[in-house]
Structure 1
Amino acid sequence: MYAYNYQLLIKHILESGVKYAPNQEIVYRDLHRYKYKDMYERVKKLANVLESLGVKEGTKVAVLDWDSHRYLECYYAIPMVGAVLHTVNVRLSPEDILYTMQHAEDEVVFVFKDFLPLIETIKDKLDTVKHYVVMTDDGMPETSLTDMEYESLLKDADSNYDFPDFDENTMATMAYTTGTTGRPKGVWFTHRQLVLHTLAVAVSVLGRSSAIRLSDREVYMPLTPMFHVHAWGIPYVSTMLGYKQVYPGRYEPQMIAKLIFSERVTFSHCVPTILQMIVDNLPEGVKFNNWKVVLGGSKLTKGLALRAREKGIITMAGYGMSETCPVLTLGFLRPEVRDLSEEEQIEYMIKTGFPIPLVYIRVVNENMEDVKNDGKEMGEIVARAPWLTQSYLKNEEKTKELWEGGWLHTGDIAVVDELGYITIVDRLKDVVKSGGEWISTLTLENLLSMHPKVREVAVIGIPDEKWGERPLAIITPMGEKPTPEELKEFLMKFVEEGKITKWAVPDRYEFVDEIPKTSVGKIDKKVLKQRYS
């Protein structure tokens, strides 16, 4: 064979970006800034450090850090030497962190100083770990763990490294689902999957019409943690496109606002609770300059989208899961809806969206038959794409359930409209089954979020002797507390418009100062159900 057998490897993403924009900036908090060409040199140094620590093809290397330039270097160097990057979810309980690191069989651990106390308490149970390396913004802290410090190792390392070619189906990254039921499950992705995901997302955000369509001059800052499904894959996309990148470290409202204004950030992504926090804490009279934000993880309500728009933030929904790398859909504006008014377009931008290129999505009933495209009949979202996890690590039983019938089962209940837009109406386990009817908690949350006295809302099903279940609305007020009668009256308008049935209107409302969240900022309905059932 004469032709070169080109493998889709992560190194090609980095090398494309460095060649195109060698002098582009990468910024970490207000502490550090350097250029793409410097980052590439450090990635080569890190590759030599990894080799000196005995890392080889297939070695699991764990990282515990906030969003930083160091984490970005690990995104590249670890998989590019053929090892596996394990992005540890630092917001899990210590018990679950221990479980995931044992289950992954991590051999080398890069740990930021904030997480040293945690690792020191579990190190005796981490039998597979051979080396620890401390990451820090200042001097080496005192620790019994190791005397190896990230910057010192890089400083002494050779900056020459020839990244090898290998099979594109080699495992590159792994992470664990935020187990809302049972233990977290391991998901993993290959070089080929990550390259294809990067290309498809780039084509989507640059080429398809949307409210946040990107240009070639964006300044990117993640507000979804880098430990959470590759920060939605956007650091890879941003590097390939040569964007300026800003990493905020630990998420602190003042630092985030400072970086957005001082570095002129134009593009981010986050879960709705983070956006809510930013909108709530922005001083009166202060506005962003059309800051573009993709929202995922839970529903972007119309109320939040409109409040964000008043503050100069343009939003759009996206959808994916830990199992899907993650992006499956985005709130594109199809040709049929581009001429609608801004208010009407918002209705499409907050939907779960339309599949990005190479993604096939169906919404099916229990017999795997497609539901009608009428925006009413509910079914489960199942998906196929070239970047979906092929299995749960060492868990055949759950893998079989995940891939039943050759489609990945999301557990999300949705409807499809006549244009093919998907709207998630609930998680399979959250939908309220009341008197033989299904009531969508997400639809109720969206409608209640538009009430001027409602800051945040969660709806759950609670047991009911007569009807099986009834919906309960848990509300954080904006200031003055609305009465249950006011809220029922408000929902009755939507009953008259045909958006919900009278049966869906909750009988009971609870008012709280704060709604509990999971480790990735989603509303924790498991906790709410335990509290109110």
Structure 2
Amino acid sequence: MLQTRVIQPADNAYQAPLLIKRLLLSGSRYEKTREIVYRDLVRYSYLTFNERVARLANVLTNAGVKPGDTVAVMDWDSHRYLECMFAVPMIGAVLHTINIRLSPEQILYTMNHADDRVVLVNSEFLPIYQGIKGALTTVEKTILLTDGADKTADLPNLVGEYEQLLAGASPQYDFPDFDENSVATTFYTTGTTGNPKGVYFTHRQLVLHTMGMASMMGAVHTPRLMANDDVYMPITPMFHVHAWGVPYVATMLGIKQVYPGRYDPELLVGLWKKEKVTFSHCVPTILQMVMNAKAAQDVEFNGWKIIIGGSSLNRSLYEAAKARGIHLTAAYGMSETCPMISCAHMNDELLAGSEDERTTYKIKAGVPVPLVEAAIIDADGNFLPADGESQGELVLRAPWLTQGYFREPQKSEELWEGGWLHTGDVATLDNMGFIDIRDRIKDVIKTGGEWISSLELEDLVSRHPGVREVAVVGIPDPQWGERPFALLVAREGHTLDAKSLKEHLKPFVEQGLLSKWAIPSQIALVTEIPKTSVGKLDKKRIRLDIAQWQEAGSAFLSTL
């Protein structure tokens, strides 16, 4: 251990722990009258928000919630969820954000595994809850969340309805100091096999992530993504990595926040217009849904800044959004990273370059945000050069990365092998610090001894004027090992087949951007591409579907 100078502080010096309550106190300090908005149903000021957080803390404490207990939430994106993101960890409890898009069996597993004690249930999810309540092993009490007039429900050990409980609670709560390394939140991430894995974050990690995200989005002007005068509306579920952690940033800065509840493209467009939204974040598929909404026809979304994550941002979507006045910025992260790791940044060198070059970099995963270390390693764990060419697994270090999976010691050791968090992503690093994600390790296509990036191929295919959506996977081939297979959704009024796709890709082969053996020899035209619970392409499901279609000799397969 390196010997450094440590000075003994004054006996009465206050050692301020990094706790979520510090973030809450800042918003009302800056902008007391700014609003928290929920659909067209609720709006109130930051002063009221702080009072409601205190009321909720009293409700939970009176219901018997103790420090270390887990409080679960089943709700759409709402003001209630935001209140839970503060009140629950601020009393020393752990907030479990339940992924309501998992199967009932998986939801049951996560609730039992997390030791949920109290559950806040939106009335829309009562059928799911009623179906699993008999198998819940740790839940002791429930609280009803509802937008409707009915304030009762058949819930076991029902404490009461959320608004009625808050109305009867004190608006004052003395939130205590405690160890900043206390767990604040947990949620479950799904993989290709096995049960969902519990990811958890401490107060210290969430505060540092908030500061790192705020410094990147607010200080880097290319353009500045989110400042105090923006209007924020998340289009990423709050059950997924705390809506990417942005609500904590927005609250700390006193930014007007708009919560849309259940995602409906028509409603999202309406809220954007009415509330004058300027900043959002989402996955590519959600953005496409919004842009294709009836309410969005002939609408110019000028001034709307959106971070795209979860899946790669292709050039076609970037250009389409730009034509509608939307400024897209690619970012990278994952459930285990809290999540922000990197964000596209146009430095002086890129700003002096061509528009085409700037676009190329704007759709990459970006440059690591402050306090993040990124490296590339080969299969043997050796570090590779940051030359923009050498490909390997992206590994990370940062103050806010999850330290393991809850009650999964073996998987935790695998995640942190060699002292770096392993992302499972194949990437390159260049001398400007840009991360370029080439593929998931499990999704890289190996054909004839050559590696093909499904993400790069999807980007090139998406530039076909008739392609609205694309997913590419590798399928077994007796001669080449694997061959790329493209799943396509056609734009209205266009026809697609394997031959026209080949003609579209030929120029990219001639330009050296694509190997000729990377051109898919088979495609399938579908009306919808399978997605995961958070809107990513579900390539596991896609491979299974393709195998079944081939076995059945499906008529909608197109082959060269």
Give the TM-score category using the shorter length: over 0.9
Q: Which residue of the other structure, out of 214, 217, 228, is the alignment partner of 2:229? A: 217
Q: Offset of 1:451 from its aligned partner?
A: 1.0
Q: Do the aligned partners of 2:299 and 2:324 also contact (CA within 8 Å) in 1?
A: yes
**Compared CA separation, residues 497 and 375, structure 1 to 2 (3 A):** farther
Q: Which residue of the other structure, out of 492, 500, 506, is the alignment partner of 2:506? A: 492
After TM superposition, the structure 1 = structure 2 runs for residues 276-425 of structure 1, keeping only pairs within 5 Å, are 276-281=288-293, 283-425=296-438
Counterparts of 1:31 and 1:519, CA distance in 2: 26
Q: Do the aligned partners of 2:28 and 2:46 also contact (CA within 8 Å) in 1?
A: yes
Counterparts of 1:321 and 1:451, CA distance in 2: 29
SS of residue paired to 2:160: coil
What is residue 154 of structure 2 aligned with on the other side? 143
Counterparts of 1:423 and 1:342, CA distance in 2: 19
What is residue 42 of structure 1 aligned with on the other side? 52
Q: Do the aligned partners of 2:300 and 2:325 also contact (CA within 8 Å) in 1?
A: yes
What is residue 152 of structure 1 aligned with on the other side? 164
Deviations 1:439-489 (A, max 9, x none): 100000001111111100000000000111111111111131123222112
Deviations 1:228-256 (A, max 9, x none): 00100000000111100000000011111
SS of residue paired to 1:107: strand
Q: Offset of 1:147 from its aligned partner?
A: 5.7
Which AA in structure 2 matches 1:486? S
Q: State whether structure 2 residue 287 is matched by structure 1 residue 275.
A: yes
Deviations 1:338-370 (A, max 9, x none): 223433312111101110000001111112223
Q: State whether structure 2 residue 478 is matched by structure 1 residue 465.
A: yes
Counterparts of 2:353 and 2:102, CA distance in 1: 43
Deviations 1:135-169 (A, max 9, x none): 11122143243261111111111112110000100
**Compared CA separation, residues 373 and 67, structure 1 to 2 (3 A):** same
What is residue 6 of structure 2 aligned with on the other side? none
What's the TM-score, normalizing by structure 1? Answer: 0.98
After TM superposition, the structure 1 = structure 2 runs for residues 151-190 of structure 1, keeping only pairs within 5 Å, are 151-190=163-202
After TM superposition, the structure 1 = structure 2 runs for residues 85-96 of structure 1, keeping only pairs within 5 Å, are 85-96=95-106
What is residue 118 of structure 1 aligned with on the other side? 128
Counterparts of 2:357 and 2:439, CA distance in 1: 23
Q: Offset of 1:212 from its aligned partner?
A: 5.0
Counterparts of 2:239 and 2:297, CA distance in 1: 33
Which AA in structure 2 matches 1:18? S
Which AA in structure 1 matches 2:175? F
> Paired residues, what number?
533
What is residue 467 of structure 2 aligned with on the other side? 454
What's the TM-score, normalizing by structure 2? Answer: 0.93
Q: Do the aligned partners of 2:498 and 2:520 also contact (CA within 8 Å) in 1?
A: no
What is residue 506 of structure 1 aligned with on the other side? 520
SS of residue paired to 2:71: strand
Q: Which residue of the other structure, out of 2, 6, 10, is the alignment partner of 2:20? A: 10
What is residue 534 of structure 2 aligned with on the other side? 520
For structure 1, the residue ranges without an aligned partner over 5 or more in a row are: none
SS of residue paired to 1:124: helix
Deviations 1:196-235 (A, max 9, x none): 0000000000112324533331000000000000100000
Deviations 1:281-302 (A, max 9, x none): 2544211122110010011110
What is residue 32 of structure 2 aligned with on the other side? 22
Deviations 1:489-530 (A, max 9, x none): 221211222222222222222211111111100111001111
Counterparts of 1:172 and 1:510, CA distance in 2: 45
Counterparts of 2:356 and 2:223, CA distance in 1: 12
Counterparts of 2:98 and 2:82, CA distance in 1: 14
SS of residue paired to 2:245: helix
Q: Offset of 1:77 from its aligned partner?
A: 0.3
Q: Do the aligned partners of 1:212 and 1:314 also contact (CA within 8 Å) in 2?
A: no
Q: Do the aligned partners of 1:111 and 1:135 also contact (CA within 8 Å) in 2?
A: yes
Runs of 4+ in 1 over 4 A off after TM superposition: none
SS of residue paired to 2:289: helix
Q: Offset of 1:420 from its aligned partner?
A: 2.4
Which AA in structure 2 matches 1:322? S
SS of residue paired to 2:73: strand
For structure 2, the residue ranges without an aligned partner over 5 or more in a row are: 1-10, 548-560
Which AA in structure 1 matches 2:530? P
Q: Which residue of the other structure, out of 430, 440, 444, is the alignment partner of 2:443? A: 430
What is residue 104 of structure 1 aligned with on the other side? 114
Between 1:427-436 and 1:144-153, the stretch displaced more is 144-153
Counterparts of 2:508 and 2:378, CA distance in 1: 27
SS of residue paired to 1:475: strand
| Identical residues among aligned pairs (%) | 54
Which AA in structure 1 matches 2:92? G
SS of residue paired to 1:457: strand
Which AA in structure 1 matches 2:234? P
